[in-house]
Structure 1
């Protein structure tokens, strides 16, 4: 399995356009930054799937040679998108794919419903391209082109602010496996490291997980107020570090870093994903 990290930041990216926190200021001085969360995976190097569709998607696709169009004039290796949530920073990029010849989008029932109501991207895309919308049922594997199988598992129940509450499956992670047994777990939005998560990562070669906040009270430290990481549905790194199962052969890499997170500038010895990073399982 080939894995390409397209973006590693939480909503707003780094530096965030309207933020003068210490981390954003340091990023501006250094001329560095992070695009918003997005991942690309392939089982054969020819058929690729996105996990989430970030607002930065056009530039992310253009930066990766494996995702370049061709040989046909409108032919691309992109086959579809698997959504972890209905959050805007995970779905706005779908609009950038409106010129695709065809596209498959996979998401849970409440996410699909939100994309028909509060953020009606399904109706917006319909006049532009042929999109097949697939309902993902947690626990039931989905067969993808190129020899991949993806299985969603529920990790959270927090809907985006624009959506009506209710339903389950608002926040999922994916366990993706190839024919040779290579296994990836992608959990950019993770409220806690519990027994269910430990079971889901068992045997995985690579786990890309929630690194949104380093500290639970990070917003207070950075901005003088605001909700805790836990209240926003993100387990802080300082907590997850001590709870992750340390199975031999499993690599844990943090992604989805908020602009306030000091790890976005200095990883401080932790395994933190970088934009453009490639893995092979």
Structure 2
């Protein structure tokens, strides 16, 4: 069986964000603690014993503490069931948690060469000794099976594919690590499947738009995790929280003619779950009109810790 645990559903900063007094953050601090959410990441397993993270959020330590499936095995002085981390981009939200995994347990980091070049260029990631933590390049449209620490197969097959997005924000207008001149590979979607059962799902934490190729790929999928950063493209500007649009950050809006809800309607997707939801997004509020619209369209806003079995 393919198991998925949602470790965090929020975008960068989490909910509540440390310095934010927006309606959602105020509610999360006070009357509605159920709104609290850590930054986006999921854990996957085919055997319930060995787990792989998709992205390592800055909140990883807190997420591991809150997730019994990721606790060390009883009776072991040093142990972790986390066998690897698959990175879909090089944003802070996706890689900062790697620094919490520096205490000596072996695992493998899987990432596109563009993203691995970002890690190599920042020497703080050298605390993850490559003698203990392997860095394995993955290619676009090239399926791979993550390996367990003993070198055997995990029973999970992952197919990375390119989606339209943006290079990590902190690299805008800078020379890109690795000497490259384009952004192909900076933003990946993943098709994750159980080799024994052929059950599968899609994971897309950052998507700038939905074209025909992506619609064809996702059609009929039993489960899709999809970028839910903002409700409307100018949300941060309209709410007075910032100057960036969703598109400028490489994120599609939930709503609107070209938004995720309308673009993915009618594709026969079994279960649709938004992840990477920004604290500015009114769909987080269960009583909001935006939440009602999303739910009528068959979308879910998950809570941290939710487990799904395929």
Q: Shorter-chain-normalised TM-score: which range?
A: over 0.9
Which residue does the alignment assign to 1:46? 49
CA distance in 1, matches of 2:248, 2:162: 17
Post-superposition Cα deviations, 1:95-151, rounded to whole Å, max 9, x if no partner, equal: 11111421100011111111111x334423228x61110111010011124310011
Once the two structures are superposed, residues 50-90 of structure 1 have per-residue CA deviations (whole angstroms, 9 ceiling, x without a partner) of 00001111111111111111143222211000001111111
**Contact 2:226 / 2:275 at 8 angstroms: preserved in 1?**
yes
Conservation of the 8 A alpha-carbon contact between 1:39 and 1:51: yes
* 1:147 is aligned to 2:151: no
Q: Note if contact 1:6-1:60 (Cα within 8 Å) is conserved in structure 2.
A: yes
**Further displaced range: 171-180 or 248-257:** 248-257
CA contact (8 A) 1:8 1:255 kept: yes
**SS of equivalent residue, structure 1 residue 156:** coil
**Is residue 2:277 matched to residue 1:264?**
no
* Partners of 1:121 and 1:176 in 2: CA distance: 30
1:200 alignment counterpart: 217
1:216 maps to: 233
8 Å contact from structure 1 (residues 141, 152) kept in 2: yes
Q: Is there any run of 5+ residues in structure 2 with no aligned partner, and where? A: 147-152
- Cα distance change on mapping 1:11 and 1:224 into 2, 3 Å: closer
Give me the TM-score of the superposition, normalised by structure 2.
0.85
Q: Which has the higher strand share?
A: 1
Using the alignment, how far apart are the partners of 1:27 and 1:77 within structure 2? 31
Q: CA RMSD in A?
A: 1.8
Q: Is the contact made by 2:218 and 2:269 (CA closer than 8 Å) also made in structure 1?
A: no
SS of the aligned residue for 1:50 comes to strand
Residue 204 of structure 2 corresponds to: 187
8 Å contact kept, 1:106–1:133: yes
SS of residue in 1 equivalent to 2:262: helix
Partner of 2:134: 132
Cα separation, 2, equivalents of 1:69 and 1:220:
44
Q: Write the distance in 2 (CA, Å) between the matches of 1:12 and 1:77.
A: 26
- Count of matched residue pairs: 279
Q: Which residue number in structure 2 is paired with residue 274 of structure 1?
A: 303
Q: Distance in 1 between matches of 2:210 and 2:302?
A: 19
The alpha-carbon distance between structure 1 residues 29 and 136, as it changes in their structure 2 partners (threshold 3 A), is same
Find the aligned partners of 1:67 and 1:110 in 2 and give their Cα distance.
Answer: 28
For 1:250 and 1:222, locate their aligned partners in 2 and report how far apart those are by CA, in whole Å: 33
Counterpart check, 1:171 vs 2:191:
no
Residue 250 of structure 1: CA displacement?
Answer: 2.2
Change (3 A) 1:265 1:227: same
Counterpart pick for 1:107 among 108, 111, 122: 111
SS in 1 for 2:215: helix
Stretch deviating more after TM superposition (197-206 or 143-152): 197-206
SS in 1 for 2:247: coil
Measured after TM superposition, the shift of residue 48 of structure 1 is 0.7
Unaligned runs of 5+ in 1: none
Provide the secondary structure at the position in 2 that maps to 1:113: helix
Partner secondary structure for residue 18 of structure 2: coil
Offset, 1:30: 2.1
